Amino acid sequence: MNTKLKEGQKAPHFSLLDASLQLFSLADFQGKWVVLYFYPKDNTPGCTTEALAFTRLESEFQKANAVVLGVSKDSCASHQKFIDQQKLTVALLSDSESVVQKQYGVWCPKKFMGREFLGTVRSTFLIDPNGVIRKIWDEVNAKGHAEEVLSTLKLLTTE
């Protein structure tokens, strides 16, 4: 696991802009579950698969009193293009300086084709209505992930 955060601890506070330049802060969602998913890049195959799945299931997340927030280094303009091209409905937040990604421990060394670089490790944090991290998924496989998160959320909300 890459993240230094642990299940059961308070989620780090953040404030980021979405595609339409609206400010989203974790504190805005007090009393709601937050699905905070970090992904590497707009309009790439895995990230598109994941965003489309969260969009398809968004009404199910809403029924469970949850909001879905995607975060990447991409600019707000890039997010808007991604949303328009893929007809996404989930909020995508821009963390261009990787500040929040570093707070959540998902900005890490990665290897690709023998080259090492810093990048976003696809990860998801399920944060409860009191701001506590209840579940962490690290190094996520995009296919089937949104369904797994929804299933876990439903289990936790019936406890």
CA distance 108 to 93: 19
Q: What is the spatial order of strands in the sheet that 66-72 belongs to?
A: 23-25, 15-18, 91-94, 66-72, 33-38, 123-127, 133-137
Cα 19 to the center of its chain, rounded Å: 14
Active-site choice (34, 47, 76, 140): 47
Quickly list DSSP for 90-143.
Answer: SEEEE-TT-HHHHHTT-EEEEEETTEEEEEE--EEEEE-TTSBEEEEE-S--ST
Active site residue 47: yes
Helix or strand run (H / E) with residue 35: strand 33-38
Quick count: other Cβ atoms within 10 Å of Cβ 99? Answer: 14
Catalytic residue ranges = 47
